[in-house]
């Protein structure tokens, strides 16, 4: 992985993740190069640099709006949202983190108003309260298959949109990026922690899909990135209405992985304060105990839908061996494990070092499994 901050994995991973979501290394270098002498605990200067980065894009976007260049403005606002979101990643829960998150939401809303291909905001009733999401829909009259996209430990629906974009829509698939327990708005605005039984929010989401005439509830897939790979697998195992499953990280026993990292500190994308916040405990030690429930060792055999597991040979957060164990244990007759190698690129966690081949592979596999029909070039050009 490209380490913009040599020896500082968390900060360097954030840089790579921002690039994966459409950020510019030129923007980042202008604002981050002065942090090379800072320690990893210098969260204030880190967040300030990303905020300044986002504000610059917002100011330029406002100039574009005045000039009537709305599509360009939307692109800049989206980049600003990514930068504000990246800045809050390394901040502990509190007012400052909330302020940066609010800035990311506002920038994304500004971008959404100017996107040539519109996003539809939806609200799903669930046992955990309202789950907000965005539908990224192809231009079509008939109901289309839908993929529910789950973020990981700290990837909200806005970042998921920036990562996935219209990759699925171009293949005739509606994509639903949604904040669920322990993620995005439910966690940050209402204090809703994550839960191990992710078939519960998944059932609520599919209940909502079944009420809509624009979505084909008989063709619903789940996809989860990073820790979302756990959420997707758990959903597929215990929600029979799921038609296919993508684990964009093959997880075996997340609690054991965290315990190993605690006992022998290794590489992590965020600091330990994130874990009790997401899991709803008061201390990291209590969070580690609760995380024992996030094991798929006995769950993978219950996954019988078509399954794709995507992993990196040099994943420094979730061992590649875990993906192999997950693949071997999965009960699916139609299953595929794709491990990206160091030689070809994409060998790091969630292919953050070379994301597009994984992104396209996943979209092609889902289109095949769901029988999707791509939108015609004429329709795509008309929409743009």
Domain segments of the chain: what residues? 1-115, 118-383
206, with CB counted inside 10 A (0-12, 13-18, 19+), is buried
Higher-scoring residue by pLDDT: 163, 140? 163
What is the side-by-side order of every strand in the sheet holding 215-225? 119-124, 131-136, 174-178, 144-150, 215-225, 244-248, 307-312, 335-340
Q: Report residue 373's pLDDT band, with 50, 70 and 90 as the boundaries.
A: confident
pTM of the model: 0.94
Domain covering 118-383: architecture:
3-Layer(aba) Sandwich (3.40)
Q: How far apart are CA 265 and CA 278, in angstroms?
A: 20
Q: What is the per-residue pLDDT across 258-306, written as a single tens digit (0 to 9) for each?
A: 998 888 776 777 788 899 999 999 999 999 999 999 999 999 999 999 9
Q: Which CATH class is domain 1-115?
A: mainly alpha
Q: How far apart are CA 61 and CA 81, in angstroms?
A: 12
For the beta carbon of residue 281, count every other beta carbon within 10 angstroms: 17
Q: What is the per-residue pLDDT across 64-98, written as a single tens digit (0 to 9) for each?
A: 999 999 999 999 999 999 999 999 988 999 999 99
For the beta carbon of residue 380, count every other beta carbon within 10 angstroms: 16
The CA-atom distances, in angstroms, between 236 and each of 78, 210, 233 are 32, 17, 5
Q: What is the per-residue pLDDT across 319-365, written as a single tens digit (0 to 9) for each?
A: 999 999 999 999 999 999 999 999 999 999 999 999 999 999 999 99
Strands 215-225, 307-312: pairing kind: unpaired
Nearest to 20 by CA among 79, 61, 95, 87: 79
């Amino acid at each position: 992985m490209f380490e913009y901050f040599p020896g500082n994995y968390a900060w360097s991973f954030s840089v790579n993740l921002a690039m994966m979501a459409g950020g510019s290394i030129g923007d980042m270098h202008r604002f981050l190069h002065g942090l090379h002498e800072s320690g990893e605990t210098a969260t204030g200067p880190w967040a300030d640099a990303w905020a300044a980065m986002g504000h610059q894009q917002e100011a330029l976007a406002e100039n574009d709006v005045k000039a009537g260049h709305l599509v360009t403005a939307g692109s800049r606002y989206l980049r600003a949202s990514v930068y504000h979101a990246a800045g809050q990643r390394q901040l502990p829960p509190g007012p400052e983190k909330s302020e940066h998150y609010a800035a990311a939401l506002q920038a994304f809303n500004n971008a959404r108003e100017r996107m040539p291909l519109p996003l539809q905001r939806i609200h799903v009733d669930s046992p955990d309260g309202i789950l907000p999401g965005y539908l990224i829909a192809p231009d079509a009259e008939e109901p289309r298959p839908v993929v529910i996209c789950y973020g990981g430990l700290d990837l909200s629906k806005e970042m998921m949109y920036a990562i996935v974009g219209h990759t699925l829509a171009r293949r005739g698939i509606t994509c639903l990026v949604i904040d669920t327990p322990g993620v995005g708005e439910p966690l940050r605005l209402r204090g809703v922690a994550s839960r191990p039984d992710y078939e519960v929010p998944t059932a609520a989401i599919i209940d909502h899909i079944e009420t809509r005439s624009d979505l084909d509830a008989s063709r619903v897939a789940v996809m989860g990135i990073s820790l979302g790979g756990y959420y997707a697998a758990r959903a597929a195992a215990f929600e029979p209405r799921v038609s296919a499953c993508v684990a964009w990280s093959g997880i075996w026993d997340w609690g054991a992985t965290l315990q190993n990292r605690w006992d022998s500190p290794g590489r992590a994308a965020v600091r330990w304060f994130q874990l009790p916040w997401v899991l709803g405990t008061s201390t990291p030690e209590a969070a580690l105990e609760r995380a024992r429930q996030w094991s798929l060792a006995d769950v993978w055999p219950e996954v019988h839908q078509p399954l794709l597991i995507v992993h990196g040979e040099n994943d420094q957060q979730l061992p590649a061996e875990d993906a192999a164990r997950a693949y071997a244990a999965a009960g699916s007759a139609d299953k595929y494990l794709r491990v990206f190698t160091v030689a070809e690129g994409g060998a790091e966690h969630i292919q953050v070092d070379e994301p597009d081949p994984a992104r396209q592979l996943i979209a092609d596999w889902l289109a095949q499994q769901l029988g999707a029909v791509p939108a015609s070039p004429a329709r795509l050009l008309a929409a743009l």
